[in-house]
Structure 1
Amino acid sequence: MTEPQSALLLRRQLAELNKNPVEGFSAGLIEDNDLYRWEVLIIGPPDTLYEGGVFKAHLTFPKDYPLRPPKMKFITDIWHPNGKSAKCFH
């Protein structure tokens, strides 16, 4: 059975992130056998209200990715600029 195009793309993108990390950001699979669910860590950038914070989120990619965007859910409580605590953004 062949792998869907979305899975091939996600596999390449994750490998690229591991090969060339982005400062303040890391990503990995939540479960080794599911390319469509990622856990990400975002380090709060300097000179912002989020400086020094470590924020965990889950990305869930649709099977027709990249035609539709992933959904992101923060696991760590964060302060949102509208003055409310927020966990989920779509």
Structure 2
Amino acid sequence: MSSGNALLLKRQLTELRKRPVDGFSAGLKDDDNLYEWEIMIIGPNDTLYEGGFLRAELVFPPEYPLLPPKMKFITPMWHPNVYADGNVCISILHAPGTDEYGYEDAGERWMPVHTVESILISVISLLSMDTPSTDSPANIDAAKQVRDDIKGYRKKVRQLVRQSAEEAYD
């Protein structure tokens, strides 16, 4: 792990601590490891996630910022863009280059100019969509429910959000 990568991560962390961004907080899981961060996303107002406390982690590869981090929700999630194991599937977190399946433009994928802040803002805007996109879903069951039973989908998300809020106060 080059010291340049660690320096960049340290700078982003310092910046987020000095100028917190509404909607999330970020910090290191362990003060001795700049490559693993814990994230708390506060459910955006006027969305299905309002009132939720969504815990996640970002794990940065040694090649960061040339390659994107992996983001995984620890809080149980029900969303077409979140795998059952919590891993987040959005274009900005996909390795640079051409999408072999043709779903994404290279410009939508990871670029070294992205920061922790831009990643989390992308995830928050994903969660803010009233009806999430079901194109190329990570969670096929959630996508199917969005298409076939939007009321049931919204009810399930709200239940998980309530659960996340209760666990935050335990």
TM-score (normalised: structure 2): 0.48
Greater Rg over alpha carbons, structure: 2
**Larger RCO of the pair (alpha carbons < 8 Å, separation 6+):** 2
Partner of 1:59: 58
Partner of 2:161: none
Measured in 1, the distance between the counterparts of 2:47 and 2:54 equals 14
Structure having the higher strand fraction is 1
Q: How does 1:44-55 map to 2 (within 5 A)?
A: 44-55=43-54
Determine if contact 1:38/1:58 at 8 Å carries over to the other structure. Answer: yes
Unaligned runs of 5+ in 1: none
Q: How does 1:1-90 map to 2 (within 5 A)?
A: 4-81=3-80, 87-90=86-89
Measured in 2, the distance between the counterparts of 1:5 and 1:36 equals 12
Using the TM superposition, give the Cα deviation of residue 86 of structure 1 relative to its aligned residue in structure 2, in angstroms.
5.7
SS at match of 1:89: coil
Give the alignment's Cα RMSD to 1 decimal. Answer: 1.8
Partner of 2:136: none
Unaligned runs of 5+ in 2: 90-170
Give the 4+ runs in structure 1 shifted more than 6 A.
Answer: none
Partner of 2:132: none
What percentage of residue pairs aligned between the two structures are identical?
61
Structure having the higher helix fraction is 2
Partner of 2:111: none
Measured in 2, the distance between the counterparts of 1:8 and 1:33 equals 13
Count of equivalent residues: 87
TM-score (normalised: structure 1): 0.88
